[in-house]
Amino acid sequence: AQSVTQLDSQVPVFEEAPVELRCNYSSSVSVYLFWYVQYPNQGLQLLLKYLSGSTLVKGINGFEAEFNKSQTSFHLRKPSVHISDTAEYFCAVSDQGGGFKTIFGAGTRLFVKA
Amino acid sequence: DAGVTQSPTHLIKTRGQQVTLRCSPISGHKSVSWYQQVLGQGPQFIFQYYEKEERGRGNFPDRFSARQFPNYSSELNVNALLLGDSALYLCASSLEQGMSNQPQHFGDGTRLSIL
């Protein structure tokens, strides 16, 4: 079984400051890793994914994440945030062995202040 | 191209009633998954359907059921509604089943409120 822990429920940050949203996972098998963003009253939108290869993954809207297998982490970063980045961010894992279930973390609310 | 569409967008029901939620996947996508997102939490997996067959089920009671039609659209049914069923119900589609490296494309959800 897999589990995902997002270490911060809320992250307030000033505009143009850097931000890191932390995600740890637990799994007995190899996993694929994803970050999704959810704006108010909308569904989830994929930001980036780690499947294999380079541990540094670049996504949309200037976000990137780094896969650390030894620490079972997949932290999301952005060097300079905008007001429009205010949203809920979800880390998710799925089993590399195939299958159907994606496990989501509880989410981190990023609040960008002017 | 249209994304994943869900209907209705909002729904209010009372305890004990039954509800049907609908989802149309992205054209060409054969797999549909349903998630329940309670306020303040991440989405919880309910079902996956592929080629009209149930391929996976999460830890939800038998009051929850679903089906997929030949055109790959899907319905989620919930019977004997409880207050705790109040949530945002999300539908997601992907090209194939069993390829967990494929990201899912989500609809905007149906907000279900139980009074």
Predicted confidence at residue B2, as pLDDT, reads: 76
**What confidence tier does B95 reach under pLDDT thresholds 50, 70, 90?**
confident
Predicted confidence at residue A13, as pLDDT, reads: 97
Q: What is the mean pLDDT of residues B3-26?
A: 96
Find the CB nearest B98 among A98, A102, A107.
Answer: A98
Find tokens 């067959």 and name the residue. Answer: B53
Predicted confidence at residue B104, as pLDDT, reads: 84
Within 8 A of B23 by CB-CB distance, chain A residues are: none
pLDDT of residue B99 exceeding 60:
no
Give the residue among A79, A102, A107 at the shortest CA–CA distance from A32.
A102
- Mutation target vs B (from A100, A101, A102, A109; most B CBs, 10 A cutoff): A100
At B30-73, the pLDDT tens digits run 889 999 999 889 999 999 998 889 988 899 999 999 999 999 99
Measure Cα distances from B50 to A40, A100, B26, B41 in Å.
29, 10, 14, 26
Mean per-residue pLDDT of chain B: 92
Asked if B104 has any chain A CB less than 8 Å from its own CB, the reply is yes
| Segment (H or E) for A11 | strand A10-14
Predicted confidence at residue B91, as pLDDT, reads: 95
Q: What is the mean pLDDT of each run of 10 residues along chain A (114 residues)?
A: 92 97 91 92 89 90 94 96 96 76 92 96
